[in-house]
Structure 1
């Protein structure tokens, strides 16, 4: 009997056989997959170049399309730029300034659009050529604008300002159309990188033009006088014309800057300062040269310094409120000329003293001295330069000119509240001090000549030491008469003003008092004398009364004789002198006469004059 088969073993056997089949099948599948993988790898290697080439072709297509668009854009820009370039090539005169600048603005806008729209220059190198061309075209066009700007500025040629001054013609100025063109170009460049260049051109061309014009006057302004030892004649220096021309150009340039920078007011001070600075430097240099000549010959050229004062003050006034970098040069000039003019005031006083001291004797006719003539001639010179004198009164006091031996009592200035800040007051005081100095020193010299053995006691009508008061008074009054005549016929009359004339009157009154001093002593003799008789009663001694009348008669006749020797030419002085004598003599004489006319049996023996007779003599005394 066959052996029995175990069921479990049979299952294992069957499973084993199935696994072998599966393993074999898996092997075949793996083998097939490897073949597929190899085939796929081979296909991939074949398709990769094809895809890459396809991508390249796609990129090339896009680049070609972009390039075609760029070429079209460049062509459009080039065509537009070419049209503008053709317009610009015609020039400003043919196209017109306004259209010319508008075209340049359009080119500038094109340039900005290209630059702002093309962030990557390397990817847009096709625009490099047109960018460069536009930049060069704009630069050439702006250069032409500057050339045109200069041509307008230079349309005014250098000329001699003296011609305009002599004919009283305004200095050359631009026409309205030219001003409009200059303003238009300045406006075009304002705010861009070329703005400072066009401004520098304006400054340079205007300064250069004015300096060339001033050069016509400079040789004449360097000479004060052709004759070295001749006194300077007022207004003869070329510096006056130079100053007048400079003032004219300053006004011209102010108007020009106002016209050109009407929209840019903040730029006006700086531009004007730059234009004027070279002019001020040239003026200051010339001013210094003139002042050096003045210092070398003060005797002849000293008064010219007052014209220099007027000159520098006028220039500074015209520049008031304007910012000048070299304004300190003008300040230095002012300080230097002030030192010279202040010395002239002091020298004038010293000169009067020196001239008075040179007198050896009183003129035989008690007339006018050379010192008086010289003093008034000198003061008239000062009056001819009134404005310069007033300008020179800055930072000066009375002490600057008063003599070293000044005594307040000798001068007629009273303790009045005067405004010493007023230059007119100072100048009036200076003239009055000169006249006082003359009178005081003439009196001192007269006292020394007439009374050599005693110390002079001047400006004192009551001096007991002075025994020649009448003659000295007449002598001084004769000189004051000339002083007053010259004052009335010259600018000195206005310069003295109220206070100065009051001082002159006080001075005349002082020396009128000298002339009537002896008359005052004569009337003092008529004072009543009271005597005590033996009984103790008060009485009037007839002999004393007789003596008083006798002394009066003799003294009166002597004074009449002396007074007739002194003939005053000034009518007002005659009236004043007569009035003073009558007011001194008549009241006292009438009083004395009325009291004692009946004291004598034979009055006419002792009383020579009745009051009416005395008045008649006195009225005839001074004619």
Structure 2
């Protein structure tokens, strides 16, 4: 029993000792944990301080590392670019292909731009090498552009397209696309590099297409000059017989086709510049052609002034059409047309001066009073002007009503082609032309009258001369397109015919005076009045003394002599049909009533022997009829 208890106590004691050992270790562990926590807290605090101190240095180190990597790339990559692209660029766009070539020069351009941004001294040689390579590439592109363009720029025969009303040929779509790619690259490259000035492609295009236009239109220009040459010196120019109309059609068609080419190839802000550059040569040729035509017109002004009017209208229409389509070239056309427009303005006054000069230089005037050829020629000129009324009206509006009486003002603008509004031949244009026509007629007839007065003997012949010329004028107006334009001004023409008739009838006052007698109401019975049948010639004569009878006989004798002389003179003069009828009627109305009255009263003075009374009323009436 004792053994048993001892063994149990020993076991408890052993367990108690183990617990104490464990508690002791636990205490040490707890203390160690606290120490560890304190150490961790101190370490965390120290770590933050280190991070704050070391962090920025680390960031800068990273940046330097990145910059170094980039710098290394930039300082070593250009040589790779040069070696990679040089072969392509040396081959040129034809062998390498345009797409591959463009890609190559773009890469070189990009690499060069990046290198220039580093501005490192060590890269200067590489920058120089790439610059030379890029310049070579750009030069080859410009040459390639020119060669592509030249393939489609061989001169054509314009008449083929004009006569068949076909549009002029344009650049092919394929070539336009390739040309556009080159132009787009060069413009973009210049913009990115900040290169000043315009793209060299603009001048390249004009240098190829400009001569194409000039040579293509050359034959039309030559034909225009050749068709102006006169076969007959005094032949009047007829509308449409000069080649200017065809030339203008060629210019318009060629320029419009070129404008469409330019619009398909260049950017909108370049259209006007390229178009003007390209057309410059053709317009210079046009200006030279117009100067030649102007010299011809001025040398043949009276017959070829109409060519000036026609050219003004053709060129104004051409300028307006192209301006509406392109908004360009109007000033260029105005400058080219200026010499002919000035000639057209001055022609109006010079034609009047020419009329005066030609009349003043006439050696004589027809003695029979016949109308002169210059009268018909002058009205023919006005008739022909009606065919060119639109340009003539524009000229007259620009110089003003009556402006043809003096030289055009040097201050007046001559560099502008009138707008279409000024070509609207409305009331103003017609009225100004009517005024000019009346001025022309007055100049003609005043000059003829002044020339004829000292040369023609007697007012009857002068009167017939004036009436003849006025009648020719009136007839030509009524039988032409002048009639509606001058219908309200015919009184201005008719006054001249009336003036001529009045001058002519002055001579017939002499025989009329012989038919007037003095009647004395205080001598016997007053002479009966009323119808001729109621007059008794024998009774009247019976109441007269011998002296009065002798006076009546003398009156008959003098009348017969004067009347016969004037009748013979009348028949010897050259009269237009209308003038002969007019003057015959006026003489009859003037003489016949007086003679009839005189004959009724005194025909018995020679008792029917016809010694003094040569004409009875019937025979003298027949004479009057022969005058018409």
Instruction: Using structure 2 for the length normalisation, give the TM-score.
Output: 0.57
2:315 corresponds to 1:318:
no
Aligned partners of 1:225 and 1:236 also within 8 Å: no
Aligned partners of 2:445 and 2:466 also within 8 Å: no
Q: Which whole-Å deviations, capped at 9, do the CAs of 1:108-140 have from their partners, x for residues lacking one?
A: 499659967996476998xx79x949x958974
Rounded to whole Å, the distance in 2 between the matches of 1:347 and 1:169 is: 44
Aligned length: 501
- The root-mean-square deviation of aligned C-alpha atoms, in Å, is 6.2
2:486 corresponds to 1:497:
yes
1:375, CA displacement in angstroms?
Answer: 5.2
Change (3 A) 1:173 1:504: farther
Aligned partners of 1:474 and 1:515 also within 8 Å: yes
Rounded to whole Å, the distance in 1 between the matches of 2:188 and 2:203 is: 14
Rounded to whole Å, the distance in 2 between the matches of 1:109 and 1:326 is: 43
Rounded to whole Å, the distance in 1 between the matches of 2:556 and 2:478 is: 45
Equivalence for 1:253: 255
Q: Which whole-Å deviations, capped at 9, do the CAs of 1:138-188 have from their partners, x for residues lacking one?
A: 9748954773465346514224556666x4655733167379648845666
Q: Which whole-Å deviations, capped at 9, do the CAs of 1:289-337 have from their partners, x for residues lacking one?
A: 5555676xx4x57644653464356435534564677678547625763
Among residues 435, 439, 458, which one is paired with 2:444 in the alignment?
Answer: 435
2:505 corresponds to 1:509:
no
Change (3 A) 1:396 1:551: farther
Equivalence for 1:155: 152
Rounded to whole Å, the distance in 2 between the matches of 1:264 and 1:523 is: 92
Aligned partners of 1:470 and 1:515 also within 8 Å: yes
Rounded to whole Å, the distance in 1 between the matches of 2:565 and 2:331 is: 77
Matches within 5 A, 1:39-438: 100=99, 104=102, 108=106, 120=118, 132=130, 140=137, 143-144=140-141, 147-148=144-145, 151-152=148-149, 154-159=151-156, 161=158, 167=163, 169=165, 172-174=168-170, 177=173, 181=177, 184-185=180-181, 193=190, 196-216=199-219, 230=233, 234=237, 240-241=242-243, 244-245=246-247, 248-250=250-252, 252-254=254-256, 256-257=258-259, 260-261=262-263, 267-288=270-291, 291=294, 298=299, 303-304=303-304, 306-308=306-308, 310-311=310-311, 314-315=314-315, 318-319=318-319, 322=328, 329-330=335-336, 333-334=339-340, 337=343, 341=347, 344-356=350-362, 358-359=363-364, 362-363=366-367, 366-368=369-371, 372-374=372-374, 376-377=376-377, 380=380, 384=384, 387=388, 395=399, 424-425=433-434, 427-437=436-446
Equivalence for 1:454: none
Q: Which whole-Å deviations, capped at 9, do the CAs of 1:352-390 have from their partners, x for residues lacking one?
A: 32343x11x744x5545xxx2255446646755763866
Rounded to whole Å, the distance in 2 between the matches of 1:382 and 1:599 is: 56
Rounded to whole Å, the distance in 1 between the matches of 2:592 and 2:269 is: 82
1:253, CA displacement in angstroms?
Answer: 1.8
Aligned partners of 1:222 and 1:289 also within 8 Å: yes
Equivalence for 2:53: none
SS in 1 for 2:199: helix
1:91, CA displacement in angstroms?
Answer: 5.9
Indicate the structure whose relative CO is greater, using CA pairs within 8 Å and at least 6 residues apart: 2
SS in 1 for 2:399: coil
Aligned partners of 1:207 and 1:276 also within 8 Å: yes
Mark the runs of 5 or more structure 1 residues left unpaired by the alignment. Answer: 1-54, 403-417, 451-467
1:246, CA displacement in angstroms?
Answer: 5.4
Equivalence for 2:413: none
Change (3 A) 1:248 1:187: farther
1:476, CA displacement in angstroms?
Answer: 4.2
Rounded to whole Å, the distance in 2 between the matches of 1:180 and 1:585 is: 92
Mark the runs of 5 or more structure 2 residues left unpaired by the alignment. Answer: 1-57, 192-197, 407-426, 530-539
1:444, CA displacement in angstroms?
Answer: 1.4
Change (3 A) 1:121 1:470: closer
Matches within 5 A, 1:472-487: 472-479=462-469
Change (3 A) 1:64 1:438: closer
Rounded to whole Å, the distance in 2 between the matches of 1:349 and 1:110 is: 78
2:498 corresponds to 1:470:
no
Change (3 A) 1:328 1:184: same
Rounded to whole Å, the distance in 2 between the matches of 1:291 and 1:574 is: 45
Aligned partners of 1:220 and 1:237 also within 8 Å: no
Change (3 A) 1:257 1:316: same
Rounded to whole Å, the distance in 2 between the matches of 1:439 and 1:395 is: 28
Rounded to whole Å, the distance in 1 between the matches of 2:256 and 2:294 is: 29
Rounded to whole Å, the distance in 2 between the matches of 1:158 and 1:247 is: 17
Rounded to whole Å, the distance in 1 between the matches of 2:109 and 2:185 is: 17
SS in 2 for 1:497: helix
SS in 2 for 1:174: coil
Rounded to whole Å, the distance in 2 between the matches of 1:233 and 1:575 is: 33
Equivalence for 1:49: none
Aligned partners of 2:297 and 2:304 also within 8 Å: yes
Change (3 A) 1:485 1:189: farther
Rounded to whole Å, the distance in 1 between the matches of 2:603 and 2:117 is: 140
Rounded to whole Å, the distance in 1 between the matches of 2:399 and 2:488 is: 21
Aligned partners of 2:224 and 2:247 also within 8 Å: no
Aligned partners of 1:257 and 1:272 also within 8 Å: yes
1:429, CA displacement in angstroms?
Answer: 3.2
Aligned partners of 2:294 and 2:340 also within 8 Å: no
